Amino acid sequence: MLPAFRRLMSTKIPTHFKSVVYSAESLEECTSVLSIQNYKPREDLEKSIVLRTLAFPINPSDINQLQGVYPSKPEKTLDYSTHEPAAIAGNEGVFEVMSVPKGETSLTAGDWVIPVQANNGTWSNYRVFSKATDLIKVNGLDLYSAATVSVNGCTAYQLVNNYVAWNKGSNEWLVQNAGTSSVSKIVTQIAKAKGIKTLSVIRDRDNFDSVAQVLQDKFGATKVISESQNNDKSFNKETLPKLLGPDARIRLALNSVGGKSSSAIARKLEKNALMLTYGGMSKQPVTLPTSLHIFKGLTSKGFWITENNKKNPQEKVENIKDFIQLYRDGKIISPKEEINTVDWDVHSTNDEQLLEMIKNAIDGTGKKQMVVLKW
């Protein structure tokens, strides 16, 4: 059983909070900038929404912020007992509401919530918000889904739903590379639920068949091909049309790899279609044959969930609502298996141990790292 939403016993709100903070950034040694701060919150807790943290993932964007190379940055303040202005690290996480101000009716103690915006600082045991509209209720999700819905979940949701007016039920496809990534797996599930077919490109590997089978059976990918097939002219000309069917239209390409993988998925698009780039795993730039732009009317754009949420926060609220419904209907499974969790026992872990744990999680490779707080 996954730890899923349930209302917990009320706990006394302490006088001091504990947060993982940073003042300066460092590209070379980003973990060295972190420290644990115990401080008395400045807010009047009676008049605030007080949250305790249940879990937070460590995302690439969190690390890039510590390195000073991320274009979206939190405001730094002197609120956390530091000498230099500092910010709490982390942009994503799920919290439980402990108390709300008198008269606040949209939230109740025990609700699970996530912040609407990035840069609020999530690597902390408690957090305080002044407005309920800055939070979104996620009751109904399991812990891992709730802690990752803000970035991966919303990204996948908006990529599938916000750019193409799909004719549902007809033979319409999206193509995506990095088909085994967390976002791609959510894309396939949402697309399937919406009646859109997915062609996922994955790296060549010895166990290609079994990985492809899992993507199809468990995550709802319609078809899976390898990067070498993706790049193979004769495959694209002869085999692919049979795979997709004669009336197939590939209307959207989702690129999180770049380089020749991005060219190859762009080439598969029908005329006047769109490629959205939301990542660049290969570290190669997006590469587009000139003829695709001129003669096939290709449009290439970027996608950044942080910016979208800033521009249109209400959309995120709606997306999450729909996402939760899909989850409840069994259309989207928990990302639990893709996550490596470390426990922060809030009663027994000391500051030194906590800092070490966070640093190890930042350095962790392979699966996504998530810190789960044990209350």
- Per CB under 8 A, residues contacting its own copies are 71, 258, 263, 277-280, 285-304, 307
R_g (Cα) of the chain, nearest Å: 22
CB of 262 to its own copies, least distance (A): 9
Task: Please report how close the Cβ of residue 291 comes to its own copies at its closest, in angstroms.
Answer: 8
State in angstroms the smallest separation of the CB of 120 from its own copies.
Answer: 20
The string over 212-243, giving b where at least 16 C-beta atoms fall within 10 Å of a residue's C-beta and e elsewhere, is beebbeebbbbbbbbbebbbbeeebeeebeee
Complex with its own copies: residue 202 or 266, whichever CB lies closer: 266
> Are residues 100 and 107 in contact, defined by beta-carbon separation less than 8 angstroms?
yes
Cβ closest to its own copies, residue 189 vs residue 263: 263
Tell the smallest beta-carbon distance from residue 19 to its own copies (Å). 27
Cα angle 11, 16, 18 (rounded to 5 degrees) comes to: 95
Other beta carbons within 10 Å of 304: 14
Axis-axis angle for helices 154-161, 182-194 (nearest 10): 40
Q: Residue 71 or 195: which CB sits closer to its own copies?
A: 71
State which residue, 307 or 343, has the beta carbon closest to its own copies. 307
Catalytic residues: 70
CB of 154 to its own copies, least distance (A): 15
Q: Give me the residues paired with residue 4 across strands.
A: 142
Calculated CA dihedral for residues 275, 277, 280, 283, nearest 10 degrees: 60
Given strand 34-39, what is the order of strands in its sheet? Answer: 34-39, 17-22, 87-88
> How far apart are the C-alpha atoms of 68 and 70, rounded to whole Å?
6
**Tokens encoding 257:** 């790899």
Name the residue nearer to its own copies (CB basis): 86 or 264. Answer: 264
Please enumerate in sequence order all residues whose Cβ is within 8 A of that of 158, keeping only pairs 6 or more positions apart, or say none. 303, 305, 308, 315, 319
